Structure 1
Amino acid sequence: MTFDELLQQYDPRVAAAFRAAIANIKSHIVLKAIVERLERGDISGAVSAVQFEPEAFAELELALSEAFNAGGVNMVQSLPAVVAPDGTRVLWHFGVRNLEAERLLREQLVTLVTNITADQQQSLRLGFEGGLAKGQNPTRTALDVIGRVNRITGKREGGYIGLTSRQVEFIDRAKANLLAGDVEGMRAYLDLKTRDKRFDRTVAKAIREGRPVEAEMVRKIIMRLSDKNLLLRGQTIGLEETRTALLTARDNAIRQQIGAGKITEQEVLKIWKHSGSEHPRMQHVEMAARYKAQGIPLEQPFVAGDGTLMMYPHAPGVPARHRIGCKCRVEYDIDYLAAGLRRYRARAA
């Protein structure tokens, strides 16, 4: 199975696990509990009442754990058979219970879930505080933040649950522009990729007439905008976190072979491979060209044009500007002949 096939298999699972976690959180929200806290001005209490907690993402963690394991197993399965002169065959294995593998996986899971929950707490707080500051009553403020129940499906739609604080900010800005009749702001809304195009004619008409969009229509527009942004958030997490799990496991799989003495660090070179995407990062294109002719040692980082050091694409600690949307990968060039001869000589000695 190729890397792309692994990505196609696990990316949807991870995205679906995130959506399932958010849907479960939404389904257990008790509106009355939130409203009562807002009536008392207890913002922290209202945030806590949403119960957006790390434990809700157990299914997401499981999906990523499976992707990590599959990435490591696939890496060792792709390694060719190595037979020493005495006929001894090298067996490649990947252990997900390897201490370093466990640490890397745990680090990814903890970082992801911590970031999701911390950012959501901030989004909820901003939403509740902002609604009350505008003079809205507690019930409307709560519904704007947690979403409204669709009478047909029985599920909550819209709201901020599951969105990043940045998404919440630009959705709020779009809402304000539509309600104020800000022509430039409404034109900006029509450029959003996550908008529901069924409302375009309504917004375009308001722009021509130089007036605000009716409040009830804005509520529907923003609800759909929120839902589409939640879908995008899930897709982004699916792609980025699955790539991170697969690439991290592949790197660890090579290091496990070194730890087992089957190859040495000196017998491994790594090569940065650019994806050839339609809108590439030129720094990544340049790195692929620079390291194409000759790989670099396993322990040497790749160096981007801005000085960023990366052990491999999507490695832990790589900043978002080099990570989000990056489709690059790394290939490992192993001197199998040297490895086989070394093992043969060691046995003969």
Structure 2
Amino acid sequence: MLKRLSAREKFEQLIADYEPLLRNAFLESIRDIKSNIQIKRIVERLERNDIAGAIEALYLDQSAFRPLDRAIAQAFEGGGVAAVTDMPTLRDPSGAKLVVRFDMRNYRAEAWLREHSAGLVNDIIADQRNGIRTFLTEGLEAGRGPRAVALDIAGRVNRATGAREGGIVGLTAAQTRYVATARSELMSNDPEQLKRYLTRNRRDKRFDATVRKAIKTGKPIPVATIDRMTTQQYANRLLLLRGETIARTETMGALNASQMEAYQQLIDSGAISETVVQRVWHTARDGRVRDSHQGMEGQTVGFRTPFQSPRGPLLQYPGDPSAPASEIVNCRCRMSIKTDFLADID
């Protein structure tokens, strides 16, 4: 006999289905951007000290992130369909069962997807541009040649696969700073800074022996090796982390938002009254739950009433993109919706 899944298990299954989809879509977008980069054009602009022109030559635009748009739409639809499937059986006054379906063509659902995806991609692009601008400027000021800096940005072609690997395209501005600082630590040949590099969680530990040898002998690490360690291996690992973070955050947001939309469509149809709907916040109930959400476990509100974090921000649902990043990035909370048909009986 098949085990009946709990609400939490069903939600975790949705996460397991859609999170890899979003992660791969983001990484596919970055691969597409890198595959179309023309190093020669970037170098020409850098030789003229045209930082803005070099950034434009990367073609970081909305259309490059269409795979991510589509993946978010799939997660949104999957969450809405799941919410409808789990709704209680509803009947009309004659006792006939009401047929309820999730409408992805609903104007409100389409607006959420359009506005949310555009806002997300704009934020991703703006943050990348800021990080790349700083990286380019500091690289040139440090005396690195235009071609070397361009390759640090775009990544270097793997002769075996023909694909560009590494580079800081796709990283956040903060992650780009991590790469630059890691490179500075390794280039310094200072024992204390080299030791600091060895504390970086996302470093490629296969090079640790090389770093320890430099600390012991005082002999500098070759520049080509430092390139591999930082703008290739370290940057690759940070990019994977970036993909995982976007996937987790956006999957949770899309699933919870579509659950709200599914019930709103039901209310709009007149099948139920808004007054009988309540929403409940659930945490992952483990030691990794952020402090601000620990006290939100079981918080119950009306259909339109937002949840409130102990820190002050209001959230319509876990992963609400209108909330501060500190409340939603990598959040693992979920929301359940229940109907109390006795609530509007006087």
Give the distance between the partners of 2:197 and 2:289, measured in 1 at CA. 26
The letter for the 2-side match of 1:305 is P
Corresponding residue number in structure 2 for 1:41: 49
Other structure's SS at 2:330 match: coil
Corresponding residue number in structure 2 for 1:345: none
- Distance apart, 1:267 and its partner CA: 0.1
- Distance apart, 1:110 and its partner CA: 0.7
Q: Does 1:324 align with 2:321?
A: no
Q: Does 1:27 align with 2:35?
A: yes
The equivalences for 1:179-258 within 5 A come to 179-209=187-217, 212-222=220-230, 223-258=232-267
2:103 aligned to 82, 95, 100, which one?
Answer: 95
Corresponding residue number in structure 2 for 1:76: 84
Deviates further, 133-142 or 160-169 = 133-142
Give the distance between the partners of 2:144 and 2:233, measured in 1 at CA. 21
Q: Does 1:61 align with 2:66?
A: no
Relative distance call for 1:270 and 1:184 in structure 2 (3 A) is farther
Give the distance between the partners of 2:220 and 2:113, measured in 1 at CA. 50
1:306 aligned to 293, 311, 315, which one?
Answer: 311
Give the distance between the partners of 2:191 and 2:254, measured in 1 at CA. 44
Percent identity reads 39
Deviations 1:57-83 (A, max 9, x none): 111111111111111111011112123
Corresponding residue number in structure 1 for 2:20: 12
Matched pairs, number: 337
Checking the alignment, whether the CA contact within 8 Å between 2:276 and 2:342 is kept in structure 1 is: no
- TM-score for the superposition, normalised by structure 2: 0.91
Give the distance between the partners of 1:40 and 1:57, measured in 2 at CA. 30
Deviations 1:285-340 (A, max 9, x none): 11115x2xxx221122222111111121111311111111210111112024668x
Structure 1: which 5+ residue stretches go unaligned? 343-349
- Distance apart, 1:199 and its partner CA: 0.9
The letter for the 2-side match of 1:34 is I
Corresponding residue number in structure 1 for 2:145: 137
Give the distance between the partners of 1:86 and 1:41, measured in 2 at CA. 76
The letter for the 1-side match of 2:144 is Q
Other structure's SS at 2:297 match: helix
Give the distance between the partners of 2:292 and 2:49, measured in 1 at CA. 49
Give the distance between the partners of 2:190 and 2:280, measured in 1 at CA. 51
Corresponding residue number in structure 2 for 1:151: 159
Relative distance call for 1:103 and 1:184 in structure 2 (3 A) is farther
- TM-score for the superposition, normalised by structure 1: 0.91
Give the distance between the partners of 1:88 and 1:338, measured in 2 at CA. 23
Checking the alignment, whether the CA contact within 8 Å between 2:179 and 2:235 is kept in structure 1 is: yes
Give the distance between the partners of 1:6 and 1:165, measured in 2 at CA. 31
The letter for the 2-side match of 1:201 is A
Higher helix share: 1
Checking the alignment, whether the CA contact within 8 Å between 1:27 and 1:156 is kept in structure 2 is: yes
Q: Does 1:268 align with 2:277?
A: yes
Give the distance between the partners of 1:262 and 1:85, measured in 2 at CA. 10
Give the distance between the partners of 1:224 and 1:134, measured in 2 at CA. 22
CA RMSD of aligned residues (A): 2.0
- Distance apart, 1:283 and its partner CA: 2.3
Relative distance call for 1:138 and 1:315 in structure 2 (3 A) is same
The letter for the 1-side match of 2:187 is L
The letter for the 2-side match of 1:277 is D
The equivalences for 1:282-293 within 5 A come to 282-288=291-297, 291=299
Q: Does 1:50 align with 2:55?
A: no
